[in-house]
Amino acid sequence: MTEALYCFRCGDPFTTIDGCLYCSRGDMGLSPLLTELLVAAAAVATRGETLKPVENSSFRCVRCRTFMRQMDKIGLIFQCPDCSMHYSKQITYNMVERHGHAKWLEPGQSALCSVIVIRERDAKLIPERLAERIQHTLKIPGHKAWQLTEELQKVGQVVLFTGHPQDAVLVASGLMTEGIRVELVET
């Protein structure tokens, strides 16, 4: 049996149902995948990468209940300041987007989202590459991707409406590259 883990939303100890972690306060059952990822990550006592935290997070460390720190701008990588448990993109994505906590997600809280793509000043971007990446990430026709690329080159930023926060996170992480900054906004 592994050591007890705590709910990342409310800090109560997780119980287990059918081998999956479960928070009874939030009536939140974790998927087999997230259960496996968290148990494996909690068992590793590495200090992770030494990144500078960007922001505090309202999520708690599953190993020690301390509030995590967000290590990147768009909130895909977290780390615990106390025990240094590292939360990878895959874990965070699954925690944030796939697992609703009854006492956390109020109705209407799942706001519509957009992604603002900003070209960094003096960034040397290869338009063909960028268009390809946009086309691939947004799954849109080539000519549309070109339109967005031209707008980005000319104006310096484009706003992409993705509709759902889950999609916004995916789009943002797909477009993040050198010379490009992405921001998520609720619309």
Handedness of CA 80, 110, 36, 23 (dihedral sign): positive
Question: Which of the 8 DSSP states describes residue 77?
Answer: -
Q: Write down the least CB distance from residue 58 to Zn ion, Å.
A: 12
Q: Which residue's CB is nearer to Zn ion, number 25 or number 181? A: 25
Q: Which residue's CB is nearer to Zn ion, number 10 or number 140? A: 10
Q: Write down the least CB distance from residue 31 to Zn ion, Å.
A: 15
Q: Which residue's CB is nearer to Zn ion, number 38 or number 117? A: 38
Beta strands 67-70; 55-60: pairing state: antiparallel
Q: Write down the least CB distance from residue 85 to Zn ion, Å.
A: 5
Q: Write down the least CB distance from residue 76 to Zn ion, Å.
A: 18
Q: Which residue's CB is nearer to Zn ion, number 105 or number 170? A: 105
Which pair of tokens denotes residue 127?
Answer: 């338009």
Q: Which residue's CB is nearer to Zn ion, number 77 or number 152? A: 77
Helix (H, G, I), strand (E, B) or coil at 60: strand
Q: Write down the least CB distance from residue 102 to Zn ion, Å.
A: 8
User: Tell me, what amino acid is at 161?
Assistant: F
Q: What dihedral angle (degrees, nearest 10) is formed by the CA atoms of 62, 65, 70, 76?
A: 20
Q: Write down the least CB distance from residue 39 to Zn ion, Å.
A: 14
Strand order across the 20-23 sheet: 15-17, 20-23, 28-29
- Residue 51's nearest CA partner among 32, 30, 77 is 77
Binding site for Zn ion (CB under 5 A): 7, 9-10, 12, 23, 25-26, 61, 63-64, 66, 80, 82-83, 85
Please, are residues 52 and 45 in contact by the beta-carbon 8 Å criterion? no
